[in-house]
Amino acid sequence: MVEAFCLRCGKVVEPVDGSLFKAAQQHKCDEKDVKRMDELIDKYNLVFSAIPKVCNDGKLLSFLLGELHEKLRQYFPDAESFVLSYSAEHECVMLYVVLDKEPEEARRQLQKFDEEWWLDMVPKYKNLSIHLRLVGE
């Protein structure tokens, strides 16, 4: 079955009488969800596939909007962007830190981030994987 979601609030929309069109017509966004979606868009570049996975997991969404984004900015202040996508193969949200620097320097930054902070968070957020993406790769 096709999964549909609201682009305004990010919530999955279930078919009504077998129709996604009816579901879309009847869907009412919670303004709190709309605000969080706006905040998510301000902080991350979103690949279409990530939206329902992130927006329908309150724990992950809160983490992405709060503590994780602060740490990413702290450890990668020169990042060009942070990109969220979803890997069906690995069944997890993929976060890419996009950097314009030499590979060794970027790997050192990621290693410091991992050792000082991220590895302690992994058990709580097993459905999130963080990777480097170098400009020009």
Q: What is the pLDDT of residues 73-96, one digit of tens each?
A: 999 999 999 999 999 898 899 999
Residue numbers of the domain that contains 92: 4-134
The answer to whether residues 81 and 45 touch, using CB atoms and an 8 Å cutoff, is yes
Outline where DSSP puts E strands in 3-127: 4-5, 12-13, 45-46, 81-87, 92-99
pLDDT bucket at 132, cuts 50 / 70 / 90: very high
Counting Cβ atoms within 10 Å, is residue 2 exposed (0-12), middle (13-18) or buried (19+)? exposed
Q: How many domains does the chain have?
A: 1
Least confident of 14-23, 44-53, 127-136: 14-23
Structure tokens at 73: 């900015």
pLDDT bucket at 72, cuts 50 / 70 / 90: very high
